[in-house]
Amino acid sequence: MPHIGLDMLDRVLNLAMEAPIFGRSDNSPVGWAISTSPVAYPEALAAMEARATAIAEGKAGELVWLIEHPPLYTAGVSAKTADLLQPDRFPVFEAGRGGQYTYHGPGQRVAYVMLDLTQRQRDVRAFVRALETWVIAALDQFNVKGQVRPGRVGVWVERRTPGLSPREDKIAAIGIKLRRWVSFHGISLNVEPDLHHFNGIIPCGVTEHGVTSLVDLGLPVTMAEADAALRMSFAATFGTLADTQPPI
């Protein structure tokens, strides 16, 4: 479990007692699956698309799928060729999601979120805000203050060093796609990835800010602890979760 102080625990419990901000109208539980081995990107993309189609057709339930990928870059629909600085460093995949270039690799928790917005809110902006709220609430359990910034997608942390100007680094990226009002893709949270691997791209097209991770911030957080924090804050943001199930 995450390392949570008593005051933080009170806040989490109070949040859990409130109605989720982006919950289902019927409060049906959302599936929760964790892959323990790295998943190849084409395999993950095909599985997500198949699950999203099944959800839209009423043949499968909603699902959050937590995975890690081998080192790779993905290009969103707004990616600019010039932002791929080292095209031969890692495999590059067209993702079809919103956003630009990002990196995925070991030590980064990717959460693919397949939700039926017809059962929640048909509001893309509200959905993105809910994803941001989810991540910020998870970071809060480690006493990390995540923030959002106008014009910059994702979750950021402000870093202050004596004698230096404050800087902002991205700790979590968000990129989604909707098909028939079912979402896929989702969020990536930097737990302990090799941050040097971001040097092969301009992450999300942003040059004036960097990237960070929980471990880079001096917090020895394990992937299991990050998963527990994400699960707790997801339930408070999106609603009831089912027991952990096998990966898709």
Q: Which residues are catalytic?
A: 204
CA–CA distance, 75 with 85 (Å, rounded to integer) = 13
CA–CA distance, 219 with 199 (Å, rounded to integer) = 23
Can you tell me which residue has the tokens 């109070």? Answer: 14
Token pair of 226, please?
């990050």
3-state secondary structure of 77: coil
Pairing type for strands 167-179 and 210-211 reads parallel
* DSSP label of 150: T
The gap from C-alpha 113 to its chain's centroid, in whole angstroms, comes to 8
SS (H, E, C) 109-131: EEEEEECEHHHCCCCHHHHHHHH
